[in-house]
Chains A and B, each alone.
Chain A
Amino acid sequence: MPQAIKHDLEKRDRGLVVILPECQGADLDTLPAFLWKMFPTMEARVSIERGTPVTRGNGLPASALIGVDGTLLWSGHPSSGAKQIDELTEVELKKMASGWGATPEAKKARQQLYGKRNLAEAKKLIAALADDNNEKAGLQLELATAFAWRAKAVQHLRDEGRLAEAKTMATALKKIASGVADWDAEVATLVAGFEGPEGQSEMTQAKKVDGVLARVRDKKMKVADAIKPMRAIAKAAAGTKAGERAEKLAAAFEAAPSAK
């Protein structure tokens, strides 16, 4: 797990996704307290393992690397495969940046879609593919998925009270999907959700939550010392998603063994 957390910190900005499935029966309600105790600087995704369909070594820990096209590239004990994981990850990140495909046109479309994250440009390139291009249907599906998850993410992040991240996602989506009639109205609605005095007031509180978290993650504040400021934000932002988030975080900090 420490190695995976290191990968997340070092390579998430380049596109690596690190997911940490917990396999011993923990639940998402109690897990935050454990994580704030053991890994306060960690920001990687954590899930509850429920049958990930990849082969892997016996016992824990175990790792698996899935490539940009969905192929299982490596699996086994993380310490025995550290070098391979590093090398394969680098190959995949380069593949993500340059695109891939059976034809140069498909490769270029994926370069825009995944490397440059320019959905509008990718849409144009995919539309221009010949109808008998074997990858056209697959690319259309990939494009639709790439737009849909981003739009869904804006709402998800809002619902979690992570307003700054939600706004960043909405603003980015507006930029990368601009000029596509099918998407413009939906994106405009997402962006408009952050305007108005109420939205701005909640954003102010949400940013205060992010500020406290950043201090904990940068080791400038102990988890135990973050309880009081987080409770104060929860009180000030009561009745909002940002307030709910602050309250949950304060409760997790309080339950973290180090805080007692």
Chain B
Amino acid sequence: MQTTLFIPLALGLALALPAQDGAPKVAEVGEVVAEFSFGAMLNGDGRTKISEFRGQPILLDFWGTH
């Protein structure tokens, strides 16, 4: 099994292990969100990784077009 270590967001030290399928562990409230990428974005500035937004609060609003 390939194990990937995700660069931590908190303190730059804590390590988050991925789930068995290789996807990052889903964070519960109070936990540090593991590194991941949003992919391409509209209206963005080229930042896609969650670690690149460190230092700013992020409000995610999941929605659908249908």
The secondary structure that dominates the B interface is loop
A17, A34, A63, A75: which has the most chain B beta carbons within 10 Å?
A17
Interface residues in B, total, Cβ within 8 A: 47
Decide if B62 touches A66 in the complex (CB within 8 Å): no
Decide if A55 touches B26 in the complex (CB within 8 Å): yes
Residues of B within 8 A of A17 (CB): 53, 56-59
Decide if A46 touches B47 in the complex (CB within 8 Å): no
Binding site for A on B (CB under 8 A): 7-13, 23-34, 36, 38-47, 50-66
B8, B53, B61: which has the most chain A beta carbons within 10 Å?
B61
Decide if A68 touches B55 in the complex (CB within 8 Å): yes
Of the candidates B9, B39, B53, the one whose C-beta lies within 8 Å of that of A47 is: B39
0/1 interface trace, chain A 73-117, chain B, CB 8 Å (1 if under): 111001000000100110011001000001000000010011000
Decide if A23 touches B63 in the complex (CB within 8 Å): yes
The secondary structure that dominates the A interface is mixed
In chain A between 205 and 227, which residues have their CB closer than 8 angstroms to a CB of chain B? none
Decide if A153 touches B47 in the complex (CB within 8 Å): yes
Decide if B12 touches A53 in the complex (CB within 8 Å): no
Decide if B29 touches A75 in the complex (CB within 8 Å): yes
Decide if A157 touches B33 in the complex (CB within 8 Å): no
Question: Is there a chain B Cβ closer than 8 Å to A152's Cβ?
Answer: yes
Q: Which residue of A lies closest to B27 (CB)?
A: A72
Contact residue range for chain A?
35 or more
**Pairs across A and B, CB under 8 Å, 20 listed:** A1-B63, A20-B60, A24-B66, A45-B44, A47-B40, A53-B24, A55-B26, A60-B64, A63-B62, A65-B60, A68-B57, A70-B10, A72-B27, A72-B33, A89-B57, A135-B12, A141-B7, A145-B51, A145-B54, A149-B47
Residues of B within 8 A of A140 (CB): 12
In chain A between 4 and 61, which residues have their CB closer than 8 angstroms to a CB of chain B? 4, 7-8, 15-24, 26, 28, 31-32, 34-35, 43-56, 60-61
Question: Is there a chain B Cβ closer than 8 Å to A156's Cβ?
Answer: yes
Decide if B57 touches A54 in the complex (CB within 8 Å): no
Decide if A96 touches B56 in the complex (CB within 8 Å): yes
Q: Which residue of A lies closest to B34 (CB)?
A: A53
Of the candidates B12, B39, B55, the one whose C-beta lies within 8 Å of that of A50 is: B39
New A-B pairs, 5, CB < 8 Å, besides A4-B59, A16-B58, A73-B29: A46-B43, A62-B61, A63-B62, A69-B54, A145-B52
Residues of B within 8 A of A35 (CB): 42
